[in-house]
Amino acid sequence: MVVTGGGGGIGSALCRRFAADGAKAIVVADLKGEAAEAVAAEVGGTAVAADVTVETDVQALVAGALAAHGRVDVYCSNAGVGLGGGPEAPDDVWERSFAVHAMAHIYAARAVLPGMLERGEGCFLGTISAAGLLNHVFSAPYAVSKAAGLSFLEWLSIAYGDEGILVSALCPQGVRTAMLGSEAERTSFLHAGALEPDEVAGAVVDGLREERFLILPHPEVAEYFRRKASDYDRWLRGMRRLRERVRGQIT
């Protein structure tokens, strides 16, 4: 299996959990090569320094895994960035968000799906966010790009779900990672119910075993999503109130 963004946070927790569950081979990929090497040493895996926003890096990552192990059973497209702002955010913020949260999944699918489809089996897990389902009260680039990533995963499941490909979207709320800490003000409302990365990894294993598309480590997200679908305008009013409440706490 291949885990991108595997050098820390949810990615490293996934690597540890997969290793504990007996994964035969784990390829740990991260933009930071030293972080990938540390996790790979811990789990007995292989480290690869890769930028998932560069398609040639993703192609080389998958080609290397295939050369070493013959197949990729599970690909975890997990890298993420926390960039905030609204429409006024600079173009490079918007472009980086879409590159990491949408194009990285597309590059990964281009690289790994042909082999999976040829075998008639495989699993593609994308780390999205509850923001992909529910939006975010402060960060438009994050929420919009995460929603794009979720839509792409939905499309993959529609197109290939009957051809032996399990596609799953991991959509947690707050997780106690460096990203949550570095965005303390904008994400303060997520801290109370934040989970440890290992808890999220456990939810992923359960979700994959049950072959679920949506993996929701925070069960309340399912209820919020139902409310959104049942009364969109009421939900938008509620999100406005949440935004104002959090803004008041920050100021």
Contact 228, 134 (CB under 8 A): yes
As to burial, measured by CB atoms within 10 angstroms (0-12 exposed, 13-18 middle, 19+ buried), residue 55 is middle
- 185 Cβ partners below 8 Å, 6+ apart? 250
Contact 46, 73 (CB under 8 A): no
Q: Give catalytic status of residue 142 as yes or no.
A: yes
Q: Could you tell me the CA-to-CA distances from 129 to 25, 37, 149 in Å, in that order? A: 27, 26, 10
Q: Is 246 helix (H, G, I), strand (E, B) or coil?
A: helix
Q: What are phi and psi of 229, to 5 degrees?
A: -70, -35
Q: What are phi and psi of 198, to 5 degrees?
A: -65, -35
Residue 15: Cβ within 10 Å count: 28
- Residues present in the chain in total: 251
Q: Which of 107, 142, 160, 224 is catalytic?
A: 142
Of 236, 215, 218, 217, the C-alpha closest to 227 is 236
Place of tokens 């295939």: 66
Contact 2, 60 (CB under 8 A): no
Q: Which residues are catalytic?
A: 142
